[in-house]
Amino acid sequence: MIANVVTDIKTLKTKNLWHLLFSLIYFLIGGLILKKGFAVLLALFLAFGLGLLLSKIPHVTLGVGDIKMLMVIAMYEQVVRVDQNPVYLVIVLFLTYIVVSFIHMSIFKFVSLFKKGITFYSYKIEKGVITTPEAVPIFLTVITLSFLGG
């Protein structure tokens, strides 16, 4: 996860192979070992659907790689919290992501009031337009859910 965040910050790209590998690992753990394959797949498809809906909202910078990261995290959360309802988990995941992403963008909006034309790896503020990698709010969402869920 950390390597994916660093790659996204530097280049705004994520690794498809990593997403596939972790998805398979979580599905194998959830399906074969924990016997909760349906719940893991339901979390995967719910995250995909919510990610697509969220990406269609104007001014949302959620890309394809970000949706894949959220899908993998939904599977991870379902494997970690086996007895939880997948619908509940995915809704909490996305609501947490929305709040963390809002705070993340608000900080950069505040900075853009005082500084014009900032560039740091893939972070850019040019003419009031802010470009940030979504891996950072996604990573902070995982950390927040870990603290909230125990």
**pLDDT tens per residue, range 46-60:** 999 999 998 888 777
pLDDT digits (tens, 9 = 90+) for 68-124: 889 999 998 999 888 889 999 999 999 999 998 888 888 878 877 887 777 776 677
Please tell me the distance from the alpha carbon of residue 38 to that of residue 53, in angstroms, as a whole number: 22
Inform me whether the pLDDT recorded for 45 exceeds 90: yes
CA distances to 31, 42, 44, 86, 113 from 37, rounded to whole Å, are 4, 8, 11, 11, 48
